[in-house]
Each structure stands twice: as structure tokens, then as C-alpha cells.
A and B are shown apart, each in its own frame.
Chain A
Amino acid sequence: MARFRLLPDEQHARSPLLLLWREFARQHSAMLGLALFVLFFLLAILSPLLTPYDPYLQNDTLLLIAPSWSEQGLVQYPFGTDDLGRDMFSRMLMGARYTFGIALITVMGALLIGLLLGVLAGMSKGVKSSVFNHVLDLALTIPSLLLAIIIVAILGPGLLNTLWAIMLALLPQFVHSIRNAIAEQLNQDYVTAYRLDGASNWQVLTRLILPNIWERLTVTATMALSTAILDIAALGFLGLGAQAPTAEWGAIIADSLDLIYVAPVGVALPGLLIFTAVLSVNLVGDGLRNAMKKRREN
């Protein structure tokens, strides 16, 4: 319960960010998620330097080599090779760049556009705001896969085209959350006080609202990131997103599906990687949310 303190003690004198980090670091699952997240992030950036072989190089003397933990495997090929003799390990590393990295870019794009539209919607009043909301409600109702199908039908299949579809599908939730957060902030007394001091809309926005909502934005962004990874992988699997030779995890699963009896690694491994990537994002998101809640309670 709230205790009255005249002088802030040591705990309360810390910056809000540091307090958030302390609460976050106290949760083991969140820290595990963060470690995995950083690992995937580094992989997405550095994978071309780390791959031992060219992920697209077809070696017809080494077709369908078993992973190195089995009797027939070679130690040079930790996860074996696929039916075209391409090194699975290099393809998995490369996949982090496509599935995880592109999901990250998609979310960043949706966040930026969402911020712009959300601020416009949140700061405007009356008919303009109401019309805006209704258009958003429409966009919110079209399932992301359907949106991707329509965009693929117009522009043709490909990773870049589905990127637009996923961005478009993520946008409404960003705008909604930003709009609601701004509406909540505008009701606060300190905003009124700042306005009485003669602050303009722009000053209220940049000095008060944005610093106060960015943490909530981060949580929304992590939720969107997990959706984006799952959507990119699903579209790759269905053959609408990344096309066959691309080492995208979903597309690799679709590729290896015919050989599931001979080489189950080709289906199991990319699926496990997608699962781990999404799990890490969700753990970080949940950890952040919990930490924010705990900080508020203290």
C-alpha cells in the first residue's frame, strides 16, 4: 500500500529507467529471453560473416548428409546438408537475417508510421478523430493472411511484398495503442499545468507525452514483433512470402517437407528456431510488462 514519504529514500532517488531494469533483471525468464533476443539480433546482423559455407552453394557430392550427431554425419556439417547439398547450418544462420531481421524492420516501419498516425489521431478532436477511428476499425478486421493474399495477388509473391502486407496488418494496433496512450496523458493534471504555462501542442507532445508513453510503446512493439515473425514464417511456408532458394526458416520447412522421413532435421530445426525466436520476444515483452507493473506498485 502507498506509504507517505517526505524525503525520497535511496531506492526512490534512482531514475525510472534504472528501477525498471532492476525489476526486469530480477525475473530469470525475462533475462533468458533477453539473452536469446540479443543472440538472434547479433545473428541477424553478423550471419554473413559467421556462415562456414555459402548457404546457396550446391555441392552435388555431399547430398543429404546426416547431422553430425548421427553415425553417418560429418563434423564439418553440424546439421548435415539438404537434398541439393547445401549446408544446413549456414542456411539456419542466414535464416535469422530473413525471418528475425526482416520482422524487426517491419515492426520498426509500422512503429514509425503508427507513431505519426497515432499522434495525428490522438491530438485531433471531433469529426476528424472519429472518421479516423472508423477507418482503423475496418483495417483491424481484415485478417493479416487475407491482407497478404490480396497484396500478393496484386504485386506477386515475394518477401518484400509480404513485408508491406504485414506492416499494414500491424499498423492498426500501433495507432490504437498510441492514440489511447495519448488520450490518457492529455487528461493528466501536469499536461493542463504545462498548457497554462503557455505550452503549444508540439511542446506538450515532445516534452510530456512522448517521454511518458515510450515504455508502453516498447511493450506493444514486442507483441507486434512476435506476430511479425510468425506471419513471415507462415507466409514463407505457404509459398507466398520468401521464395524457394531463400534461406528463410518458414520456406526451408516447406522445402524439406517432402523429405521429412529421410531428413527430419530440415523440418524440426527451423521450426525450433522460429519457436525460440518468438519465445524470446514474448519473454522480454512479458518481463517488461511485469517490471513496469512492479515499479508502479513500489
Chain B
Amino acid sequence: MTLYLLRRLFLLVFVFIALSILAFSLGYLFPGNALQNFTGLTDIPAELATQLTAEYRLDSGYIQQYIAYLQRIFSGDWGLSFASKQPLLQEIKILLPATLELAAYALLVSFFVGIPLGIIAAIKPDGIISRIISALAIAGYSIPVFWWALLLIMLFSLGLGWLPTAGRIGVLYEIPHVTGFMLADILLSNSQHQTEALLNALRHTLLPTIVLATFPTTVMIRFTRDSMLEVWEQSYIKTARAKGLNRAQVLYRHALRNALLPVIRQIGLQFSTLITLAMITEVIFSWPGIGRWLIDSIYQRNYPAIQAGLLVISTLVISVNMLTEILHTLFNPLARKR
């Protein structure tokens, strides 16, 4: 296990180096001046330009420049945003939790809805309930996320007027930024309108969560169902049945534990798709997360922001991938052999 962890760690370091090289090279690949792309300053006076060039080592070779870039990344100096002239790291610290909050709720929904439905669908694979679940799953798997969001907004926000269309919370409430997770921040704040604020935030969260959860939920349903059907065929299930355990006991003690193992792995593999969908969902619901910020950055030609966004989002996805894989290996001794 130690050897396995060491190998994973080595791989992680390698991937991060490759990622930082890619992010560094973007400074040159993007249109415009490399100095502008690295600093985030648009009009630089001549004397400042020479000073900055020396500081960023843009006069020396690429390797020195890259090392200087890494030092800046680790010391927290990520440059400024072209659009707002604010330090990028500060902006990202405010935006990233909003995206994480949305993605976390969607993942939770997909667990609590997708896995039970997948198990139900696997009990009688040719039954009517199973067919309905499978049909719903394949429909949810095929629906374009932006259209689905528009349909729900049309129905629940504009048609019935039940739910708000945009934002994280009503503009009347002022919640101090502590953790960045809206619901946690409301619980931490000592305002007298805490309950109203919480309800308001929940109403704002409901629609984006449903939209974003659709894809991972259907993936969970399909995957749990396939995995359960496969496990159900194994000989140890037959042995357990032969010992006299009833269906529920076999399901809980033997089938479920083995069937859910690959599901853990699937979370890591689907996380990058989830982030793509979260970005689109954020644009439609004006959710102030990193995805909407990145897409705005492309309209504004805000190159330093795109560079920083690549670094943050890829690091996030790589970490989640690695974490789920290590968890999978931890729970599944068979995977350790490889």
C-alpha cells in the first residue's frame, strides 16, 4: 500500500509539473504581450516595463522564466485580472466555493437519488419499474443541460413563479463571506433574519442543483444497475443464497458492498464532466462561480484569468481523481495488486 501511495504521489507531482508548464506557456500562446499576460497590467509605462521584465526574468531563457513563474504561483502572486484590476488569487478564493457548493449538492443528490434507483432497477431487470427507470435515465443522459435549464426556468420561474431565476440569494440579505459556502455562511452569521435568509438561499439553490444533478444522477443509475447485475451473477452470491440468507441480507452484506466499489471510481472519472456542466449551469443561473467568471473572461479577452482558471480547475479535478482512486484502492484489496 505504501509503495502504491508513493507511486501515486510521484504521478501527482509529474502531472502538476506538466500542468504548470502548460499554464506557463499560455502566457506566450495567448494573443498580446507576454509581460501583459503574466502581470495582468494593460498599459505599462516604459520604466516600469524594464523593472517588471527584470523581476519576471522575461529577459532570460524560458527555463528561468518558468522557475520565476513557479515561485510567483507558490508565493500567491498570480497577477491581476485585466477586467477588474484585482489580484486573481483573491477573486478565485471568493468564486471557487460557490462552484464547489453547487457541485457538492449535485453530487449529493446523485448519490441519494441515483444509487437507490439503480438498485431498484437491478432487482427485476425486465420489470416495468426497471424499464421506466432506465428510460428516464437514458433521457436524462441525453438532454442538453442548457436547454433543460431553460425549460425548468420557463416552467417554475416564469410560468408558475415559484422559484427565482438567478443568483445565490436575494439582494436584500447581506451575508458576510466566511467559508464561501452560502448555507454555512448563513448559519454562521448572527443576523435576526437567519431563517428567512436560509429559506431564500435554498429557493435559489434548488433549480441549479436539479439541473446540474441530472447528468451525474443518470450516470449513477446506469452504473449502479450494471454493476449490481454483474455482481448478482457471481458465484459468491449463489453461495450466500445457498447458505439460506434472504434477498435483503444478500443484497446488504454481499452484493451492495461489491457493486458500489466501481461507483466510487466513477465519481472521479465523471468529475471533469460535472465541472463542464457546472460552468454552463452557472452562466444560465447567473451563479457567481468560477465557471461564469471564466466564460466572461473569454468575452472580455481576460487572458490572465483564463490562465489562473486553468490552474485552479485542473488542480481541483486532478485532486478529486486521485482521491477517489486512492479510496477505491483502500476499499478494494484486489485493485492493490496491479
Q: Which residues of A contact B (CB under 8 A)?
A: 134-135, 137-138, 140-146, 149-150, 152-154, 226, 230, 233-234, 237-240, 250, 253, 257, 260, 264, 267, 271, 274-275, 278-279, 281-283, 286
Which of B42-50, B139-147, B180-188, B329-337 contacts its partner? B139-147
B323 at the binding interface (Cβ < 8 Å): no
Q: Which residue of B lies closest to A33 (CB)?
A: B138
Within 8 A of A (CB), among B299-329: 299, 301, 303, 306, 309-310, 313-314, 317-318, 321
- Beyond A149-B298, A279-B142, list 4 extra A-B contacts (CB 8 Å): A134-B18, A153-B30, A257-B150, A278-B143
Q: Which residue of A lies closest to B141 (CB)?
A: A282
| Chain B residues near A283 (CB-CB < 8 A) | 138
| Chain A residues near B150 (CB-CB < 8 A) | 253, 257, 260, 267, 271
| Chain A residues near B141 (CB-CB < 8 A) | 226, 282
| Chain A residues near B297 (CB-CB < 8 A) | 149
B310 touches A142 (CB 8 A): yes
- A138-B18, A152-B298, A234-B144 known; A145-B11 Cβ under 8 A: no
A230 touches B144 (CB 8 A): yes
B15 at the binding interface (Cβ < 8 Å): yes
Which of B104-112, B191-199, B274-282 contacts its partner? B274-282
- A226-B142, A230-B144, A286-B138 known; A143-B273 Cβ under 8 A: yes
Q: How far, in angstroms, from A234 to B283 measured CA to CA in the complex?
A: 11
- A260-B154, A271-B144, A275-B144 known; A143-B272 Cβ under 8 A: yes
B54 to chain A, nearest CB (A): 27
B70 at the binding interface (Cβ < 8 Å): no
A143 touches B276 (CB 8 A): yes
- A278-B144, A282-B141, A286-B138 known; A146-B318 Cβ under 8 A: no
Within 8 A of A (CB), among B3-33: 11, 14-15, 18-19, 26, 29-31
| Chain A residues near B291 (CB-CB < 8 A) | 145
A282 touches B146 (CB 8 A): no
A271 touches B14 (CB 8 A): no
B26 touches A134 (CB 8 A): no
Q: Which residue of B lies closest to A276 (CB)?
A: B142
Q: How far, in angstroms, from A275 to B242 measured CA to CA in the complex?
A: 46
Q: How far, in angstroms, from A239 to B154 measured CA to CA in the complex?
A: 21
B270 to chain A, nearest CB (A): 11
A284 to chain B, nearest CB (A): 11
User: Can you list 7 contacts pairing A with B, beta carbon distance less than 8 Å?
Assistant: A134-B14, A141-B318, A153-B30, A154-B26, A234-B145, A253-B150, A260-B154
A134 touches B15 (CB 8 A): yes
| Chain B residues near A279 (CB-CB < 8 A) | 138-139, 142
| Chain B residues near A274 (CB-CB < 8 A) | 144, 147
Classify the interface of chain B: helix, strand, loop or mixed: helix
| Chain A residues near B259 (CB-CB < 8 A) | none
B276 touches A146 (CB 8 A): yes
B29 touches A143 (CB 8 A): no
A240 to chain B, nearest CB (A): 7
- A237-B146, A271-B144 known; A142-B11 Cβ under 8 A: no
A143 touches B144 (CB 8 A): no
Within 8 A of A (CB), among B230-267: none
Q: How far, in angstroms, from A153 to B18 measured CA to CA in the complex?
A: 20
| Chain B residues near A134 (CB-CB < 8 A) | 11, 14-15, 18
B15 touches A143 (CB 8 A): no
- A140-B272, A146-B314, A275-B143 known; A238-B283 Cβ under 8 A: yes
B213 at the binding interface (Cβ < 8 Å): no
B294 at the binding interface (Cβ < 8 Å): yes
Q: How far, in angstroms, from A152 to B31 measured CA to CA in the complex?
A: 11
| Chain A residues near B146 (CB-CB < 8 A) | 233-234, 237, 250, 253
B41 at the binding interface (Cβ < 8 Å): no
| Chain B residues near A144 (CB-CB < 8 A) | 272-273, 276
| Chain B residues near A267 (CB-CB < 8 A) | 147, 150
Q: Which residue of B lies closest to A240 (CB)?
A: B298
B295 at the binding interface (Cβ < 8 Å): yes
Q: Which residue of A lies closest to B215 (CB)?
A: A230
| Chain B residues near A152 (CB-CB < 8 A) | 298
Q: How far, in angstroms, from A226 to B143 measured CA to CA in the complex?
A: 10
B118 to chain A, nearest CB (A): 15
B294 touches A149 (CB 8 A): yes
| Chain A residues near B276 (CB-CB < 8 A) | 143-146
A162 to chain B, nearest CB (A): 12
Pick the 4 closest A-B CB pairs, nearest first. Answer: A271-B147, A278-B142, A279-B142, A145-B276
A282 touches B138 (CB 8 A): yes
Q: How far, in angstroms, from A150 to B308 measured CA to CA in the complex?
A: 11
Within the complex, which residue of A143, A153, A239, A275 is in contact with B306, where a contact is CB–CB below 8 Å?
A153
Q: Which residue of A lies closest to B144 (CB)?
A: A274
- A143-B317, A267-B150 known; A138-B15 Cβ under 8 A: yes
